[in-house]
Structure formats: structure tokens, C-alpha cells
Amino acid sequence: MIRYALRRIIFAVPVFFIIITAVFFMVRFVPGGPFDRERQLSPETLAALNAYYGLDDSLPVQYVKFLKNLSRGDLGPSYKYQNRSVTELVREKAKVSLELGGAALAIALTVGLACGAVSAMGRGRLSGALDAVSLAGICLPAFVVGPVLIWIFSLKLGWFNAMGWREARDIVLPSVTLALFYAAWIAKLFKDSEARELAKDYSRTAIAKGESPLRVAAEASRAALSPVVSYLAPAAAGMLTGSFVVESIFNIPGLGKFFISSALDSDYTMIMGCVMVYAIFIICFNILADIALALLNPRVAKELGVRK
């Protein structure tokens, strides 16, 4: 297993560099520059700014400088936030998004797996009601759920603040808003997978021999978790790196909202920093998902060539 993980990490290194290389050149081919939106800049001042930040160099030279700085752990200065480094800003914004995403991930897993398990074992109205709730969670976008939660729990009941990130309770409404969509998908995936496992011969035979249905369901859930684990790789990365919509609705100073504003401002270094964080999370969670799948299902381990 350790050898397999190391092999995946080695393969992930060129993938990471392909991603950052593609983004590096793509953002520079987009019309406009980081200082084009600044007003009352004379041509001399604009030329001086480009020279100071090395933007008047050729793209290959800029790319080589970027890689040299990256090898030292330096992502460079932000073009829009004076006297602030990209590393400092990304660390500050990512901390907020990780807190929000971590809470949303815990809610999505807990609620999704619980609803999926109950729906798979339930019958009649209970299973139908949970399926309907899951479908609603998938269909309702965050820009609808967020304002509704604010209206009910902030404006009507006064339990939470409508916006901001100042108190511990400020994490509740945005994390629930962010988690709802993912919880609904987890519930649906787990319910369908668990139902398939319970319909197989080994589950029916165990129940016919007098085994407790709950115990049989618990045994079947090991295999039923496989599609959930596969889905969690990109989902967890998305939740942990922040959601622009949720952070905008609740006015949260996280990485998702910051990434969009950096893209609009053509802040090249900030865009690269945000993309690298997201790419690292995607790659790491995919590796962890493959390892988890191998541990849950020996057949998958054999297909992946994993040796314990």
C-alpha cells in the first residue's frame, strides 16, 4: 500500500506541473493586464510597473522566473494588494475556506450516509420521503438555499448572523448551505449502492439463515461505500477550497471568493496561488480515494495493483 501511494505521488508531480504551466500561459493570453483597470495611470507609470514586476519580459523568461521562485516556496507579490505576498494571502484565505469546507464535509458525510442507509433499508413512505429530500437537495442551488436559511434563521428567528465571519456560530448557515448539495448526492449514491448489495445472494442468504438485518446491512455497507468514496475526491476538494457562491452570499473572506476577484483583476500571481491550492487538494484527495477504495474492496486493490 505504501509503495502504491508513493507511485501515485510520483505520477502526480508531472500532472501538477502540467496544470500550473497551462494556467500560467492561459491567464496571460487573456486580454487585459493586472494594471489595466487602474485609472489615471500614465504610460510611463504603467511601463514602470510592468518593468518592476517583470511583466515586460518574454513569456518564457517569466515562466522560468516563476519556476525558480516556486522552487523556493515563493509565489511572488500580489499585483493588487500592495506589500502582501501571495503566500501570505492564500494562507489567510485558505484557512477560512478550510474551516467552512471542513464543517460542510462533516455535515455532508454524516447526513448523507445516515439518510442513504435509512432509505436503503426503509420501505414505503419513509424511503420515498428521503428520496424526495435527496432530489430536492440536488436540484436546489446554493443561491436559493442560502437566502432562505438567512430569512428563516437570521431574520425571523434571530439565531444566527445573516452575514460575516466574526463569531463561532457564523459557520453554521454557510456550512449547511454548502453541504446540502453534497449530502444529497452522497445519500443517493449510498442508498443505490447499499440497495444493490442487500439484493445480492450473499445478503439474502445471511438474512435467511437468521442474521440480523442491521448486521447484514453493516457488512454490505463496506462494499456500498465505494461510489461514495469515488465521489468524495473532487467533492471534498471543492468544499475545502471554498465555494464562491456561498462565500459571496454570507460575505465570507474565503479562497473561493478571493479567487474570482483575482481572476477579474487579472492578478496573475494570485490566480496561480489559488489554482495550485485547488490542484493539490484534487490530486491528494484522488490518491486518498484510490487508497480507501483498495482498502474497502480487495477486487479494486487487485485491479490497481496494490499490495498491502
Q: Which residues of 127-154 are buried (b: 16+ CB within 10 A; e: fewer)?
A: beebbebbeebbeeebeebbeebbeebb
Burial of 284 (0-12, 13-18, 19+ CB in 10 A): middle
Predicted confidence at residue 123, as pLDDT, reads 62
Is the per-residue pLDDT at 215 higher than 60?
Answer: yes
How far apart are the C-alpha atoms of 37 and 51, rounded to whole Å? 18
pLDDT band at 39 (very low <50, low <70, confident <90, very high): low
pLDDT score for 307: 54
Average pLDDT, rounded, for the chain? 81
Is residue 136 predicted with pLDDT exceeding 60?
yes
CA 277, CA 134: separation in Å to the nearest integer?
A: 30
What pLDDT was estimated at residue 296?
67
Q: Given this model, what pLDDT does residue 242 score?
A: 62
Query: Can you list the positions of beta strands (E) in the chain?
Result: none
Q: Which of 34-38, 47-51, 76-80, 81-85 has the weakest average pLDDT?
A: 34-38
Amino acid, res. 115:
C
CATH code for the domain defined by 92-304? 1.10.3720.10
**Top-confidence residue, 102 or 202:** 102
Say what the pLDDT of residue 152 is.
92
Percent of the chain with pLDDT over 70: 90
CA dist 35 to 39, 50, 66, 72, 111, Å?
A: 9, 9, 19, 26, 46
Global pTM reads 0.78
Residue 279: pLDDT over 80: yes
Report residue 106's pLDDT band, with 50, 70 and 90 as the boundaries. very high
Are the CB atoms for 297 and 223 separated by under 8 Å?
yes
Whether residue 71 is predicted with pLDDT greater than 80 in this model: the reply is: yes
**pLDDT at position 301 over 70:** no
172-196 mean pLDDT: 88
Which is more confident, 143 or 127? 143
Q: What is the pLDDT of residue 38?
A: 61
Cβ–Cβ under 8 Å, residues 170 and 161: yes
Which of residues 127 and 101 earns the better pLDDT score? 101
What does the pLDDT read at residue 163? Answer: 86
Q: Which segment of 15-19, 31-35, 77-81, 151-155 scores lowest on mean pLDDT?
A: 31-35
pLDDT value at 111 more than 80: yes
Check pLDDT > 70 for residue 26. yes
pLDDT at 302: 56
Percent of the chain with pLDDT over 90: 7
* HSE (side-chain half, CA atoms, 13 Å) at 80: 19
Task: Grade residue 303 by pLDDT with cuts at 50, 70 and 90.
Answer: low
